Amino acid sequence: MSESIKIDIWSDIACPWCYIGKRKFETGAAAFAEQAGANAPEVTIEYHSFELAPDTPVDFDGDEVEFLSTHKGMPAEQVRGLLDNVSSIAKATGLDYNYDILKHTNTVKAHQLLHYAKAHGKQLETKERLLKAYFTEGRHVGRIEDLADLAAEIGLDRDDVVRSLTADEYLGDVRADQAQGHEYGIQGVPFFVIDGKYGVSGAQEAAAFAQILDQVWMERQMEDEGATA
């Protein structure tokens, strides 16, 4: 098997397109692996922090329509139309968004949990759990105790998660991710950095992700051939 292809993804828990983009990337990566066959390189993923609305309160007293209409200055009917549209797109990727029970919140602690989980080998499981909790289950992902409950569900030490989040142990890592994203010029998420050299913005179709992975793999093979010629 060839050396792995590294995928760095900037995203936010409260970003509906990030969950959709995650699913589309996973589908594209699976299609690439199937097409490439036994010699396909491993695709490794690391998530990085991006806050869409860092000024959001931890406990927002209202629903998603109220948040977007009051904080973003959008008419309520326009917001409902946008949410219906994104929910339909999510449904097509196998995701059930439930904005009626969604609890809008600040996500900085959730990002810290993702860094904690990375240090304990469970970042990918944690990312999936947080997104599902937020968009589908109406769970709170901004408070330490609630995040610790979710972390415990995937095998992380609940008490140690509380300790880490209370101490802001990984806040510096969150800020470092954000600074790197700024250096890359990332202004919206999801944003995918493929193999350290290709940037892909937005929830692209699965076929587009499969194509760029294939392109990177072919470039790798050509480099290897050139090195041995």
Q: How far apart are CA 18 and CA 201, in angstroms?
A: 11
Domain that holds residue 44: 1-50+186-229
Range with lowest mean pLDDT among 23-32, 60-69, 90-99, 185-194: 60-69
Tell me what the mean pLDDT of segment 76-104 comes to: 97
Q: Up-side HSE of residue 177: CA atoms within 13 Å toward CB?
A: 23
The percent of residues above 70 in pLDDT, for the chain, comes to 97
Question: Is residue 117 in some structural domain?
Answer: no
pLDDT value, residue 39: 86
3-class DSSP state of 204 = coil
pLDDT value, residue 1: 45
The CA-atom distances, in angstroms, between 196 and each of 4, 5, 7, 46, 200 are 12, 9, 8, 12, 11
Question: Is residue 164 in some structural domain?
Answer: no
CATH of the domain at 220: 3.40.30.10
Long-range contacts of 172-176, Cβ-Cβ distance < 8 Å, separation of 24 or more:
173/49, 173/112, 173/115, 174/49, 174/108, 174/111, 174/112, 174/115
195, 45 Cβ separation under 8 angstroms: no
Question: Is residue 190 in some structural domain?
Answer: yes
Question: Is residue 39 in some structural domain?
Answer: yes
Describe the strand order of the beta sheet including 5-11 as a list of residue ranges. Answer: 43-49, 5-11, 191-194, 198-201
Mean residue pLDDT of the chain comes to: 95
50, 8 Cβ separation under 8 angstroms: no
Residue 2 in this model has a pLDDT that exceeds 60: no
Question: Is residue 119 in some structural domain?
Answer: no
Domain count along the chain: 1
Question: Is residue 85 in some structural domain?
Answer: no
Q: 3-60, pLDDT tens digit by residue?
A: 899 999 999 999 999 999 999 999 999 999 999 998 889 999 999 999 999 999 999 9
